[in-house]
Amino acid sequence: MEIENRKSKIEIRGALFLDRDGTLIIDKVYLADPAGVELIPGAADGLRRAQALGYLLFLFTNQSGIGRGLHTLEDTLRVNARMEELLGLGSPLFTAVGIAPEAPGQPVEYRKPSPRFILEQMKQHNLEPEQCWMVGDSAVDVGAALAADINVAVVRTGKVDPATIPEIAANFIPVYPSFAEFAATLS
Ligand SMILES: [Mg+2]
């Protein structure tokens, strides 16, 4: 688990916990090469809008490729750095970055749907659940949000059809075409 904490000078309206693959960048599955990073259209505009409104931005990504031995934590850090570079919103962009390296079946520390990263960051930054959103493309993002008892939104830019995630219908979770459309709803 890699957590980097950043200080912020803006007045805090809330926080967005953002999945990476399928939400901010195209899900290439076990992406290890920074040259493969492709932003999902609108991601930078959406993040800029959220930032301007006073939302802290957290990146929260499962990277089981590390636990599976397919790539290293350093690869993931390079991919994240390339994403920040392409977003062009300055660096560091995220208040904290949570990278869960566990493979399925390995003891879970932070791997979504564990809400641990969210809960720790909420405590550290004095955030209330109603101020916080998890935005992602998969069932584990929904699960982490529900376990942390924060708001959740699902985007259609991932590999999974949101209609196949039963928690979405059961919990009336909003689904957006992309992160940009979600960010446009923030106030
Ligand atoms: Mg994802």
128-140 pLDDT, tens digit per residue, is: 999 999 999 999 9
Torsion region of 105: left, alpha or beta (phi above 0 gives left; psi -120 to 50 gives alpha):
left
- CA–CA separation, 56 and 94 (whole Å): 7
Instruction: Tell whether 23 is covered by a domain.
Output: yes
CATH number, domain with residue 129: 3.40.50.1000
Instruction: Give the position of tokens 């930078």.
Output: 44
Query: Cα dist. 144→23, 110, 136 in Å?
Result: 15, 10, 10
**Residue 11 Cα, ligand 1 centroid: separation in angstroms?**
29
Mean pLDDT, residues 32-51: 98
Q: Which of 4, 16, 9 is CA-nearest to residue 151?
A: 16
Instruction: Tell whether 21 is covered by a domain.
Output: yes
Half-sphere exposure of 39 (CA within 13 A, CB side): 18
Instruction: Tell whether 74 is covered by a domain.
Output: yes
Q: What is the pLDDT of residue 117?
A: 98
Instruction: Tell whether 5 is covered by a domain.
Output: no
User: How many degrees, rounded to 5, is the angle at CA 141 between CA 138 and CA 147?
Assistant: 140
pLDDT category at 153 given cuts 50, 70, 90 is: very high
**Residue 171 Cα, ligand 1 centroid: separation in angstroms?**
19
Instruction: Tell whether 1 is covered by a domain.
Output: no
How many domains does the structure of the chain reveal?
Answer: 1
**Residue 153 Cα, ligand 1 centroid: separation in angstroms?**
12
Residues designated as active site = 19, 21
Q: Which domain holds residue 19?
A: 14-184
Instruction: Tell whether 161 is covered by a domain.
Output: yes
Mean pLDDT, residues 54-72: 97
Q: Whole-prediction pTM value?
A: 0.93
pLDDT category at 150 given cuts 50, 70, 90 is: very high
